[in-house]
Amino acid sequence: MSGFDHKDKMTLRATKAVSDVLWGLKRYRSAYLFAENQRVKSSVIERKLNLTGSEVRAIIAHLRLQGHPVGSDGRGYFWAVSPRDLQATIDHFAGREEKLAEVRHALMRTQAELGQGDFYLDGDVYARGEVGGQL
């Protein structure tokens, strides 16, 4: 475990990485304040701080939960300076929530159907209750 996914206690490495990402985003924003929302790609953060993509996403989520205005889009992460800057990120999350709800409901329907009739696995038909043998 890298320590990035723990809510209560992060490892020293994780704490330093969060601090480094926060500092980097603020510095990057300051350096390009007059350019329109300069972004930094996850791959750049990964390379500069020797992190994985999952670790970067966990750090960004942590920063957002702490109230830091970190926006993102297909071009990378950025430090928002106005409410408008965050709107596209908020809209993106709303769309993901809707899609995740659809997937969750589809899985719940499938789960309910698993208790009825036959099911298919790799093209073979299995009757309910046929747990041994081929499965």
Its pTM stands at: 0.63
Predicted local confidence at residue 117, as pLDDT: 61
Confidence of residue 23 (pLDDT cuts 50, 70, 90): confident
Domain map of the chain by residue range?
A: 1-81, 82-119
- Per-residue pLDDT band for 53 (boundaries 50, 70, 90) equals very high
Contacts of 124 (CB under 8 A, 6+ apart): 134
Query: Taking residues 81-101, what's their average pLDDT?
Result: 92
Residue scoring higher pLDDT (67 or 11): 67
In which band, very low, low, confident or very high, does the pLDDT at 31 lie, cut at 50, 70 and 90?
Answer: very low
For residue 120, count other CB atoms closer than 10 A to its CB.
Answer: 8
Q: Report the distance separating Cα 38 and Cα 32, nearest Å.
A: 6
CATH number of 1-81: 1.10.10.10
Q: Among candidates 93, 43, 15, which has minimal Cα distance to 6?
A: 15
Rounded to the nearest 10 degrees, what angle do helices 12-31 and 42-49 cross at?
A: 130
Q: Taken in order 30, 36, 42, 43, is the CA torsion positive or negative?
A: negative
